[in-house]
Amino acid sequence: MKIPRSVFVQRVSQVEEIAGKMGIKAVIVYATGSSLGFASRTHGYMRYLCNWDARNQAAVMVLFPDREKDPVLLVNGRAAKLFAGEIMWFSDIRSIAPDGYGKEIVQILQANVKDGDRIGYIGKAETPVNLYDTLRERLGGVKWVDADDIINERRVVKDEVSIDLHRRSASVCDAMFETFSREVRSGKKVYQLQADLEHTAKMEGCEHASTFMSIDTVVNRARYAKEECDRIPQEGDHVLLSLFVLKDGHWGHAIRTGSIGQVNPKLQETYQIVFEMQEAIKEAIFPGNEVVELWKAGERILNKYYPKARQKDWYWLKTGHSLGLDYSDPILSDFFPNPFKSKQEVHLPVKHEKAFGRIMPGMLFEIHPSLFIPDHATAAIGNMFLATESGYEILDRYPRELMVL
């Protein structure tokens, strides 16, 4: 499925209109490619505006809100320029080496803005220092405006096209779990099983696919690298499997816990805690409820069990985030604090609290409570929850229960 070009033309027009009302004369958008996977926090900006994937590079788009002028797109290399020329609706696409982006942007802006003009910048968090320094030094007379939220706010509630694409990403996760259940007893090493799963996703057309696959007598951490994944799964091993896929620019993410053969009572006990946490969180997903109540619901369950072990021995990841064009989509993800804030007052994104602090249909959350108890057991469960008019829908379909393999 492809998003119609008209959707991107409309999105660019909306961004330009909003920026124009803010008195912004030009907008610079910096974004990384999909090769960074879940580490990127800017990839979604370019996918939102024009569906461009810079893969293992970065790209820059320049918009001009105050005039009838097409965007300019900077890409790296002749091949990228030719490909972009086939899919874009505008023609000013320039092949520029990444270390030359700053100089090229300066030349573009010098011809279109003057000292004192407001210039919006989107994606500064991942912009290389030398690029940003070049802009600040050579365009010292303009006023820089952090403009991420112009796009961020448009991405909070997913439209029907985006929801359908996330469903497809979720179905890829289901297929990867099926592959794992079929291959886990094949005698392959864990890193070879990872390759099987990533192959499944690539065959489904994903531009990015990765996993952490932790299999041991007792799982103690998320494991990614070949060096820590060279074990052949054994009878009685615990399994923690997390999937990350990006298909047509839209993220899918799911986590399951399991056992190879008979389930150890310690694993069952630990899994039951995270399952109960997720059950409490999902019951809080309904229109009008405060987004922060999702985190609080899981925290209440965790606190009920916490005295069973010394505080220093327990570790857990944040219980959720928003999914979208980035793995951790902006604004809504801020309502889920990291564990080190669990006993402190949670800092909410105050500027968005009124507009986006309550659940609305079309919001998409990844809810994945987890618990690591050293020398005891580890468990996690993660599903894609779409907020609906009546409550929620779970997009990934593979059973949530503890896997017995």
Give pLDDT, residue 253.
98
Crossing angle (nearest 10°) for helices 101-110 and 129-138: 30
**Distance in angstroms (rounded) separating the CA atoms of residues 130 and 260:** 50
Q: Per DSSP, which regions of 189-237 are E strands?
A: 208-216
Of 103, 122, 155, at which residue does a domain stop?
A: 155
Q: Are residues 146 and 178 in the same domain?
A: no
- Residues counted in the chain: 405
338's tokens: 């990291």
Q: Which domain holds residue 203?
A: 160-404
Q: Are residues 138 and 168 in the same domain?
A: no
Cα 119–122–125 angle (5° rounding)?
125
Q: Are residues 333 and 252 in the same domain?
A: yes
Q: Are residues 136 and 215 in the same domain?
A: no
**Distance in angstroms (rounded) separating the CA atoms of residues 95 and 77:** 5
Report the relative pairing of strands 58-63 and 72-75 from DSSP bridges. antiparallel
Q: Are residues 89 and 124 in the same domain?
A: yes
Residue 141 belongs to domain with CATH number: 3.40.350.10
Q: Are residues 208 and 325 in the same domain?
A: yes
Amino acid at residue number 7:
V
Of 104, 134, 155, at which residue does a domain stop?
A: 155
At 248 the three-state DSSP class reads: coil
Q: Are residues 122 and 43 in the same domain?
A: yes
Where b means 16+ CB within 10 Å and e means fewer, 334-373 reads bbbbeeeebeeeeeebeebeeebbebebbbbbbbbbbbbb
Q: Are residues 222 and 146 in the same domain?
A: no
314's tokens: 């327990």
Residue 356 belongs to domain with CATH number: 3.90.230.10
Q: Are residues 135 and 241 in the same domain?
A: no
Q: Which helix (H) or strand (E) holds 373?
A: strand 370-373
Residues of the chain with pLDDT under 50: 309-310
Q: Are residues 251 and 285 in the same domain?
A: yes
- How many CB atoms are closer than 10 A to CB 393? 14
Give pLDDT, residue 310.
45
pTM of the model: 0.95
Of 95, 126, 155, at which residue does a domain stop?
A: 155
Q: Are residues 44 and 190 in the same domain?
A: no
Half-sphere exposure (CA, 13 Å, Cβ side) for 250? 25
Q: Are residues 168 and 145 in the same domain?
A: no
**Number of structural domains, the chain?**
2
